[in-house]
Structure 1
Amino acid sequence: MFARDTDDFSPSERERIVKTAVSPRPVAWVGTRDAAGTDNLAPFSSYTYVGADEPSVLFTASRRDGDLKDTPRNAIDTEVFSVSVATADVLETVDHTAADPGPEEGDEFDLAGVERAECDRIDAPYVADAPIAMECTLHDRQEIHGRTMLIGDVVRFHVADEATRDGQVDSREITTIGRLGGPYYTHTDPVEFERRY
């Protein structure tokens, strides 16, 4: 085993270690709409929940040439965004929505052939076929080491019948995907284990 200070590694080496250590990282498929009405859909693997009884989620986004990318900019400008659960059967499509289409190509929904649905409480789209989608209002934003962290309060859930068992949302019915270190993904395969604590 080696032990070295963070500054002894290159930025790419540090990134590889952190992204491998903090894994699997669930993928949020974030939907937004800009002020002109253009939709945006992008995957984020720097994503988690903050609270569950008063549900809130967060994701972080890097900058491109010092500027905010479309998703965080839209979420900040409109103060809303959606999160759709990404699953193993659409992994290639999820990856495709990471592209940055030009205006002539349409938005990421069009580019990747993803069916959109309209949120009920906020002005944003979500992935129509997602097993779970959440409508979020912007709670806060923070700038941390060149990344933008956005926290959203969940104001409405959309849950597909196929994601439930005996009337409850059930992880065994949803094959979620996660990012590992490097170019690798994984998907859920629940382990039968009864917690004692």
Structure 2
Amino acid sequence: MRLDFSELPATEGYRWLTATVTPRPIAWVSTRSAEGIDNLAPFSFFQVVCDEPPTLMVSISRRDGDEPKDTLLNLRDNGELVVQLVSHAQAEAMNASSASLPRGVSEFERFGIAATSSERVKPLRVVGAPVAFECRVAEIKPYPAERPTHHLVFAEVLLAHIDDGVLADTRHADAARLDLVGRMGGSLYATTRDTFAMIRPK
């Protein structure tokens, strides 16, 4: 099969990209609005992009109807976020928080997701998340520049919370204990429990 993306409708391009670039880690992003409303939403266009300074990147699309999502609006207002990684045990709660709610409605409250205060930033942290990165926005980049369909958010990591229960030792996390979920195509997800090792050549 040969796919010419210049001839594909955007929805078909999306379907093929998300069905083949897998598994994709999920950023469960908490933010706070200028009015003090706490928001929580998952994004699978997500990755670590730099280690000096430690930086994550989340790509945020627009809502149906071409309106900006609450996460983006909150980041523009406050410039702070917490990126949680999602364990298998929290997959259902993460999925629930992907629902489109009216602006001003908190996913924490609507879906009963337990939260606690962060240390360096204002947005809340999800209780029980195996890993949570407290971050500040380094840059928000519209893409493509001439007709943005996404905004790339570069978030500098200030502080990480890692559950002691997922540690293999003082320097490593155990993939099976992390038990993270990643996004596959359609409604499918994968976990980090199925792993194998290879030694990188010198």
TM-score category by the smaller chain?
over 0.9
The one-letter code of the counterpart of 2:152 is M
User: Structure 1 residues 136 and 196 mapped into 2: Cα distance closer, same or farther (>3 Å)?
Assistant: same
Aligned to 1:19: 18
User: Structure 1 residues 196 and 103 mapped into 2: Cα distance closer, same or farther (>3 Å)?
Assistant: closer
C-alpha distance in structure 2 between counterparts of 1:114 and 1:186, whole Å: 22
Query: Which deviations, in whole Å up to 9, do the C-alpha atoms of 1:148-182 show, x marking residues without a partner?
Result: 11010000111111121222322231011111122
Selected match of 1:154 from 147, 153, 157: 157
C-alpha distance in structure 1 between counterparts of 2:200 and 2:23, whole Å: 24
Does residue 100 of the first structure (1) align with residue 70 of the second (2)? no
- Three-state SS of the structure 1 residue aligned to 2:197 is coil
C-alpha distance in structure 1 between counterparts of 2:10 and 2:103, whole Å: 33
TM-score calculated relative to the size of structure 2: 0.90
User: Structure 1 residues 77 and 103 mapped into 2: Cα distance closer, same or farther (>3 Å)?
Assistant: closer
Residues 40-189 of structure 1: pairs in structure 2 closer than 5 A = 40-64=39-63, 65-102=65-102, 106-145=105-144, 146-168=149-171, 169-189=173-193
- Structure 1 segments, 4+ long, off by >4 Å, are none
Partners of 1:100 and 1:108 within 8 A in 2: no
The runs of 5 or more residues in structure 1 that have no matched partner are none
Partners of 1:101 and 1:111 within 8 A in 2: no
C-alpha distance in structure 1 between counterparts of 2:2 and 2:99, whole Å: 37
- Three-state SS of the structure 2 residue aligned to 1:6 is coil
In the TM superposition, what is the alpha-carbon distance from 1:194 to its structure 2 partner?
3.3
C-alpha distance in structure 2 between counterparts of 1:103 and 1:44, whole Å: 18
The one-letter code of the counterpart of 1:28 is A
C-alpha distance in structure 1 between counterparts of 2:57 and 2:3, whole Å: 30
In the TM superposition, what is the alpha-carbon distance from 1:7 to its structure 2 partner?
2.3
- Three-state SS of the structure 2 residue aligned to 1:8 is coil
In the TM superposition, what is the alpha-carbon distance from 1:67 to its structure 2 partner?
2.2
Aligned to 1:196: 200
Query: Which deviations, in whole Å up to 9, do the C-alpha atoms of 1:61-88 show, x marking residues without a partner?
Result: 1112222110111012101110011111
* Aligned positions, number: 195
Partners of 1:132 and 1:163 within 8 A in 2: no
- Three-state SS of the structure 2 residue aligned to 1:7 is coil
The one-letter code of the counterpart of 1:114 is I
Percent of counterpart pairs with the same letter? 29
- Three-state SS of the structure 2 residue aligned to 1:59 is strand
